[in-house]
């Protein structure tokens, strides 16, 4: 990595790996959740994540790059934390709020990465990539807001 263009490509491969890893982690979270609205939220987000992988493939294509992932230590750690909670939390009073908290940490990770990637795309003059990344960023922000609403209205209490 020598240029901002290199950093952009590298981070794109990181988040592509992360989204693919999440398609394996989200079904486990949906199975573990006790609250039915929370289960549904994880299943909906799994569908959305598959759509985001398609959008990322369009970003790679717009840059003339082959879509590929690079192992992302951050998402590995975040998913490991979530799996640990599923092991440790007994009963819905602890598990469901803890699962939402862990899922929001993952959403925030993605919000940070897409925010950075979008700004770099703008800086580098990659208009199509900028617009696609903005679409995903908005989806992640909405997913996070939905989890907050679910926590406050149905799960914590």
List interacting residues with a copy of itself (CB under 8 A).
Answer: 1-4, 6-7, 10-11, 14, 72-78, 80-81, 84-85, 88-91, 93-95, 97-98, 100-101, 104-105, 107-109, 111-113, 115-116, 119-120, 123, 148, 151-152, 156-157
Cα–Cα distances (Å) from 99 to 17, 68, 145, in that order, read 22, 29, 15
Minimum Å gap between C-beta 53 and a copy of itself is 20
> Do residues 79 and 26 make contact, with C-beta atoms less than 8 angstroms apart?
no
- Say what angle helices 36-62 and 92-123 make with each other, to 10 degrees: 20
Minimum Å gap between C-beta 43 and a copy of itself is 21
Q: What are phi and psi of 144, to 5 degrees?
A: -65, -45
Q: Which is nearer to a copy of itself, 45 or 54 (CB)?
A: 45
Q: How does DSSP assign 33-68, residue by residue?
A: --SHHHHHHHHHHHHHHHHHHHHHHHHHHHTT----
Minimum Å gap between C-beta 156 and a copy of itself is 5
Q: Which is nearer to a copy of itself, 60 or 114 (CB)?
A: 114
> Do residues 146 and 43 make contact, with C-beta atoms less than 8 angstroms apart?
no
Minimum Å gap between C-beta 13 and a copy of itself is 12
Minimum Å gap between C-beta 26 and a copy of itself is 17
> Which H or E element spans position 79?
helix 73-88
């Amino acid at each position: 990595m020598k240029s901002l263009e290199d950093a952009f490509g590298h981070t794109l491969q990181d988040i592509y790996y992360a989204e693919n890893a999440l398609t394996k982690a989200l079904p486990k979270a949906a199975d573990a959740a006790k609250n039915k609205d929370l289960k549904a939220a994880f299943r909906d987000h799994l569908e959305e994540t598959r759509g985001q992988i398609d959008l990322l493939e369009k970003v790679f294509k717009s840059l003339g790059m082959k879509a590929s992932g690079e192992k992302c230590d951050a998402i590995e750690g975040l998913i490991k934390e979530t799996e640990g909670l599923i092991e440790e939390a007994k009963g819905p009073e602890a598990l469901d709020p803890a699962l939402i908290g862990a899922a929001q940490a993952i959403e925030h990770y993605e919000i940070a990465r897409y925010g950075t990637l979008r700004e770099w795309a703008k800086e580098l003059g990659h208009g199509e990539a900028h617009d696609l990344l903005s679409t995903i960023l908005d989806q992640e922000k909405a997913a996070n807001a939905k989890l907050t609403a679910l926590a406050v209205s149905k799960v914590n209490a």
